[in-house]
Amino acid sequence: MNLHREFVKLSFDIIKMKNRLISLLLEIFEKEIYKGHGCATIFEYGFKYAKLSRETVEKALRTLKHVEDKPFLKQAIAKCGIHKVALVATIAAPETDKVFAEHVANMSKPALFEFAKEVRQAQKEGLMRGNDDKDNGELFELGEANLQPCRAASTNLKIELGHEMQILFFQLKQKLQKEQKRDFSNKEALKLMLKKLAEKEVVVNSGMSKNEVTKSELAKTETSILVQKGVPGNGNINVQSVARESRKGDVVLEAENAKNVGNIENIENRRVSEKQKEVSRYIPAKQKREILLKYQNHCAYPNCAKPAENIHHRSPFAQSQSHETIIPLCEIHHEFAHNGVIDGQISEPEEWRFSLNSQKSRVDELYLAHRS
C-alpha cells in the first residue's frame, strides 16, 4: 500500500464531506434542527458536530441565503466549497447562475477573485447587467464590456525601506542624477531604476546584448527596404516578384509530376500537409524570445503589470498548427483566456472585450478537463 497516496485521498474525502455538510447548514438553521440536539445556537451546533468556527458558519449562512434562487451555485458549494462560491454569490443573478457556477468549478480561487472584481466594476459603471435588473430579456447583449484597467495588482503600492535599503536607494539615485545630469524626485528615480532593471532582464532572456538587439532590428528594417524597393545592382528587380515567379515555377513543376500519376488536384493539399508536419507543438525558443521582448516580459492583458508566466495561443494550436498567435499571459489571465472570459481574443489585446457569456472552444474544454 502507498501510504502517501492513501493519505492524500483521505484528505480530499475530508474536504468533500466538509463542503457537503456546510451546504446543509441553512436548512438546519431555518428548521431549527439544532435546538433538538442540545444546542442553543447554530454556531454551537456547527462547532459541536463539525468543528466549524463561528466565522465559517456565518459566511455559510450568508452565502447560502444569496444562492437560494441559484441552484447551480448552490450545488457548487458541495463540490467546490463555500469560500469560492462566496466570491460570486452577490453578483450572480438567476439568469447567470449556470455561467458563474462553471467559473467556480473551473477557475482557481485567485482567478475567480479577479473575475469577480472585474464584474463588479462593470456592473458599477453600467456596462453589465447586475442583480438589480428586472428585465430578463437580451441578457448577454449587455454581457460584454471594454476591458477595464487590470485590477490584478494594486494601483498604489507602499514600500517601507529600512536604513540599509535607504542608503542603497539614495546611492543609486545619485548615480542616475550624475548620468542624466539633472535632479528628480524619489518616485521618478525608482521608476527609472525599475525600467533599467526590466530592460536588462529582457536582454538577458533574449540571449542578445543591447547592440545585438539593435543590429537585429536594423537588419529587419534593411530587409524590408530591399523587398519594397528592389535589390540594387540587379536591374532593380523586385524581390517579391521574383519570389512569386519562383513559386509559380514550383507549382508548374509539381503539376507536371502530378499529371504522370493522375493526381493534380492534390498538389496544394499535399503542400499544406507537408507544411503542417514541419510545425511542432514545441514553440521555438526564438519565437518565445521575440514575443517576450515585445511585451517586455509582462502579461499582455490590457494594463496588467504582472510578469508573464504562460505562453498562450490565441488561436488554438490544435486548430491552426501555428505559433503565429502566441502571447504572454500571467497565470490569472491565462485562466481568463481558457474560461471564455475574453471575447475576441484572436485579435490583438487592445481589442479584447470582457464577457460574462462563457463561450469556450472545444480546445478550452479539453484543457479545463485536463486541469481538473
Range of weakest confidence among 135-149, 247-261, 341-355: 135-149
Q: Give the percent of the chain with pLDDT over 90.
A: 27
pLDDT surpassing 90 at residue 202: no
- Chain position carrying cell 531604476: 193
List pLDDT tens digits, range 332-362. 999 998 888 888 888 888 888 887 765 777 7
pLDDT, averaged across the chain? 75
Burial tier of 62 (Cβ tally within 10 Å: 0-12, 13-18, 19+): middle
**Averaged pLDDT, 242-249:** 49
Residue 242 has pLDDT above 70, yes or no: no
The pLDDT value given to residue 149: 47
pLDDT at 206 exceeding the cut of 60: no
Q: Which of 31-35, 44-48, 63-67, 357-361 has the lowest mean pLDDT?
A: 357-361
pLDDT band at residue 198 using 50, 70 and 90 as cut-offs: confident
State which residues form the domain around 20: 3-106
pLDDT class for 46, splitting at 50, 70, 90?
very high
Q: For residues 68 and 73, what is the distance between their CA atoms, to the nearest angstrom?
A: 9
- Give mean pLDDT, residues 228-252: 46
**What is the C-alpha to C-alpha distance for residues 61 and 57, in angstroms, rounded to an integer?**
6
Q: What is the dihedral of CA 100, 105, 109, 112, to 10 degrees?
A: -20
The answer to whether 142 and 128 are in contact (CB under 8 A) is yes
pLDDT given at position 229? 40
Whether 182 shows a pLDDT value over 80: the answer reads yes
What the block records as the C-alpha cell of 15 is 474536504
Tell whether the model's pLDDT for residue 254 goes beyond 50: yes
DSSP character at residue 158: -
In a domain, 28, yes or no: yes
Kindly state whether residue 318 falls inside one of the protein's structural domains.
Answer: no
User: Of 22-36, 43-57, 218-232, where does mean pLDDT reach its minimum?
Assistant: 218-232
Residue 289 lies in a domain: no
Q: To 10 degrees, what angle do helices 97-106 and 71-80 make?
A: 10
**CA gap 65, 148 in Å, rounded:** 31
Q: State the CB neighbour count (10 A cutoff) for residue 113.
A: 16
Is the pLDDT score of 315 beyond 60? yes
CA distance 152 to 186: 25
Determine the pLDDT at residue 141: 34
| 243 Cα distance to chain centroid | 40
- pLDDT of 265 above 70: no
The answer to the question of residue 13 being in a domain is yes
The more confidently predicted of residues 369 and 296 is: 296
Burial 177-192 (b: 16+ CB within 10 A, else e): eeeeeeeeeeeebeeb
Read off the pLDDT band of 268 (50, 70, 90): low
Q: What share of the chain is helix, strand, coil (3-state, %, to 5)?
A: 65, 5, 30
Least confident of 87-101, 124-138, 140-154, 257-271: 140-154
Cell 509539381 belongs to 254
Residue 25 inside a domain? The answer is yes
251 assigned to some structural domain:
no
pLDDT at 215 over 70: no
Q: How confident is the model at residue 43 (pLDDT cuts 50, 70, 90)?
A: very high
* Cell representation of residue 21: 455538510
Asked whether residue 26 is domain-assigned, the answer is yes
In a domain, 281, yes or no: no
Number of domains in the chain: 1
pLDDT of 134 > 70? The answer is no
* Predicted pLDDT of residue 358: 59
- Looking at residue 278, its pLDDT comes to 60
> What average pLDDT does range 207-232 have in this prediction?
46
Q: What per-residue confidence (pLDDT) applies to 210?
A: 52
